[in-house]
Amino acid sequence: HLTVILTASDIISTVEFNHTGELLATGDKGGRVVIFQREQESKNQPHRRGEYNVYSTFQSHEPEFDYLKSLEIEEKINKIRWLPQQNAAYFLLSTNDKTVKLWKVSERDKRPEGYNLKDEDGRLRDPSMITMLRVPVLRPMDLMVEATPRRVFANAHTYHINSISVNSDYETYMSADDLRINLWNFEITNQSFNIVDIKPANMEELTEVITAAEFHPHHCNTFVYSSSKGTIRLCDMRASALCDRHSKFFEEPEDPSNRSFFSEIISSISDVKFSHSGRYIMTRDYLTVKVWDLNMENRPIETYQVHDYLRSKLCSLYENDCIFDKFECVWNGSDSVIMTGSYNNFFRMFDRNTKRDVTLEASRENSKPRAILKPRKVCVGGKRRKDEISVDSLDFSKKILHTAWHPSENIIAVAATNNLYIFQDKVN
């Protein structure tokens, strides 16, 4: 059930829990990052256990202008990825179309007082007035959370960055654009290694682009990237410096009965995610979510229909540009349930074990705090039952592209345009 709705001032463009689930970061179209922190459990207020509140807000990226190409570079945050916590501070990567930044988020709850050369306001003291030395002491102050940019990784991408992924070695990460993937070391900002380059010598021969990329959760030499043609390539960085030859190639043969003007474009993969176990990958294309076993390349092991009733509406969806929407998908902590978004503020969950699925709605009307979400159903034809909604009544401007699942608990964050919904499963 719902615990929190937060309204951002701008359209949310990415949502990500950190590795413990204590923090939830959102990025928006205006280049801002907002981090929420889960309240500690306290005996005094048990009903507020586990609520997320704003922890830090900062402007990550600003609009820029590429003078050479006379193009504006949007400040929209495309992706945020957390680094695992190694000390008291939190680190995250945020990226727009061209530049990746490493941010340090740290708390300050003590302040040194008793400087010798300056007074409490910071003004310099007259040295001739100082008659004795003292050692400054740390005194408590109101908690301040500050975000500072520690690294800026710029000028490495000609095309638009669509993915970033932190390696399990915690020393490197990759950034992927339409045609190239670069490998970075966190400490080095003026160089990166190009590990994938699919740009053809003649651009007129271009037939596919990279749409998403991710490192394997445990094997630091392995990563996957998906393409606009609906294929996934798994690469091993030990094989060669430039991973243009894949180790594995995942592709499902096309179903000829489904051919239309738009078959090619709806097979484009919008998101690829490794399972937590590292054994499976999940891909999202326009109408389906697929789970692939890394050991089987010729077809997915599971295919889930997200909103197959849209298959007959592809032409209208092309007209209103919805067919280009890039939905993401997520695993739950145990890899037993997968979740993805749809239209009309609906999002779908599929239980891989029971094969049951549910459609839920993220809307203010239906969501009161601690109310239980009611499953929704889309009526595909014939008689519409009460509580069902017909395909033609769906609001295509209300799309859920970004969702996140807590790494270990049943807490999900759902971004519906500029509203963030956090749902928790409380078993009392």
Q: Which of 357, 349, 355, 346 is nearest to 395 (CA)?
A: 346
Tell me the window of 40-48, 71-79, 103-111, 350-358 that interacts with other proteins (CB under 8 A).
71-79
* Residue 111 engages other proteins in binding (rule: CB under 8 A): no
Please state, in angstroms and rounded to a whole number, the distance separating the CA atoms of residues 327 and 351.
Answer: 19
Write out the binding residues for other proteins, residues 212-231 only, by CB under 8 A: 228
Tell me the window of 120-128, 135-143, 312-320, 370-378 that interacts with other proteins (CB under 8 A).
312-320
Between 319 and 425, name the residue whose CB sits nearer to other proteins. Answer: 319
What the block records as the tokens of 105 is 């988020």
Partners of residue 124 on adjacent β-strands: 118
Cα three-residue angle 329-335-337, rounded to 5 degrees: 65
* Residue 264 engages other proteins in binding (rule: CB under 8 A): yes
Among 41, 62, 72, 146, binds other proteins (CB under 8 A): 72
Between 96 and 189, name the residue whose CB sits nearer to other proteins. Answer: 96
Q: Is 319 helix (H, G, I), strand (E, B) or coil?
A: helix
Please state, in angstroms and rounded to a whole number, the distance separating the CA atoms of residues 21 and 362.
Answer: 21
Between 69 and 123, name the residue whose CB sits nearer to other proteins. Answer: 69
Q: Put the strands of the sheet holding 302-305 in their side by side order.
A: 271-274, 280-284, 288-293, 302-305
Among 321, 355, 385, 428, binds other proteins (CB under 8 A): 321
What the block records as the tokens of 84 is 């695992």
Cβ–Cβ < 8 Å for 284, 327: yes
Q: Least distance from C-beta 39 to other proteins, angstroms?
A: 38
* Residue 198 engages other proteins in binding (rule: CB under 8 A): no
Non-local CB neighbours of 46 within 8 Å, separated by 6+ positions: none
Write out the binding residues for other proteins, residues 278-297 only, by CB under 8 A: none
Among 40, 202, 257, 428, binds other proteins (CB under 8 A): 202
* Residue 262 engages other proteins in binding (rule: CB under 8 A): yes
* Residue 65 engages other proteins in binding (rule: CB under 8 A): no
Between 211 and 340, name the residue whose CB sits nearer to other proteins. Answer: 211
Q: Least distance from C-beta 111 to other proteins, angstroms?
A: 42
Encoded one letter per residue, x for contact with other proteins by CB under 8 A and - for no contact, window 324-363 reads x---------------------------------------
* Residue 386 engages other proteins in binding (rule: CB under 8 A): no
Please state, in angstroms and rounded to a whole number, the distance separating the CA atoms of residues 131 and 75.
Answer: 53
φ and ψ at residue 377, rounded to 5 degrees = -145, 140
Non-local CB neighbours of 288 within 8 Å, separated by 6+ positions: 303, 304, 305, 306, 308
Q: Least distance from C-beta 245 to other proteins, angstroms?
A: 22
Q: Least distance from C-beta 268 to other proteins, angstroms?
A: 7
Q: Least distance from C-beta 204 to other proteins, angstroms?
A: 5
Cβ–Cβ < 8 Å for 177, 164: no
Please state, in angstroms and rounded to a whole number, the distance separating the CA atoms of residues 378 and 358.
Answer: 11
Q: Least distance from C-beta 209 to other proteins, angstroms?
A: 5
Taking the alpha carbons of 40, 41, 45, 48 in that order, is the dihedral positive or negative? positive
Q: Whose structure tokens read 């990746």? A: 100
Write out the binding residues for other proteins, residues 80-99 only, by CB under 8 A: 97
Under rule CB under 8 A, how many of the chain's residues touch other proteins?
34
Encoded one letter per residue, x for contact with other proteins by CB under 8 A and - for no contact, window 135-174 reads -----------------------xxx--------------
Tell me the window of 83-91, 311-319, 389-397, 402-410 that interacts with other proteins (CB under 8 A).
311-319
Cβ–Cβ < 8 Å for 360, 289: no
φ and ψ at residue 364, rounded to 5 degrees = -65, -35
User: Measuring CA to CA, how many Å separate 425 from each of 214, 353, 409, 428?
Assistant: 28, 19, 8, 9
Binding site for other proteins (CB under 8 A): 69, 71-74, 97, 158-160, 178-179, 200, 202-209, 211, 228, 260-265, 268, 315, 318-319, 321, 324
